Amino acid sequence: MTLTRTLVIPTTRTNTERLTDRSALTGCPWHDVKAMLRQVGLRPTRQRMALGWILFGKGDRHLTAEMLYEEATRAKVPVSLATIYNTLHQFTEVGLLRQVAVDGSKAYFDTNVTAHHHFFVEGEDQVFDIPDAVVAVGKTPTPPEGFEIARVDVVVRLRRKR
């Protein structure tokens, strides 16, 4: 494992307060992962540390549980697919990851939790960001009584031109 990767700490509006304490970050990714986990109230267990390091050490990206499992295996991190699922969902609950619903059969997890939308290439299982968040959502519907809109997710589905 190399320690030269840059760690990108995800931030969201809801997490701003919890993650603004960057003074705890030392510049060393391993320690950053520990600080990040502590800031969201997760105990920095060996497995969370290892998976966090793999997830957040490569910048913004979109991963499925299977993809993370493959990377963990390659990095010689002994972890089961069940643990990967649990960890991904725990990270999502505390706002470190965002789940992108592109396909009914597969959940993608985004290390960039700021507001943005996605392209999905049908049949190729590829997810990537729509740049600049310039997606015209048209007219946002009025939420029913007692509700407010939490977020608008846009997935633009692509296919290769024939």
Interacting residue ranges for Zn ion, rule: CB under 5 A: 110, 112, 129
Task: Please report the DSSP string for 2-62 in residue order.
Answer: -S-PPP-----TTTHHHH--GGG--S-HHHHHHHHHHHTT----HHHHHHHHHHHTT-S-E
Query: Min. distance of Cβ 126 from Zn ion in angstroms?
Result: 12
Output 61 or 89, the one with its CB closest to Zn ion.
Answer: 61
Side-chain-side CA neighbours of residue 138 (13 Å): 4
Output 71 or 153, the one with its CB closest to Zn ion.
Answer: 153
User: DSSP character for 95?
Assistant: T
Cα(162)–Cα(79) distance, rounded to whole angstroms?
A: 42
Query: Min. distance of Cβ 93 from Zn ion in angstroms?
Result: 18
Residue nearest to Zn ion (CB): 110
Query: 3-class SS at 96?
Result: coil
Query: Min. distance of Cβ 130 from Zn ion in angstroms?
Result: 8
Query: Min. distance of Cβ 65 from Zn ion in angstroms?
Result: 17
Output 48 or 62, the one with its CB closest to Zn ion.
Answer: 62
Output 49 or 55, the one with its CB closest to Zn ion.
Answer: 55
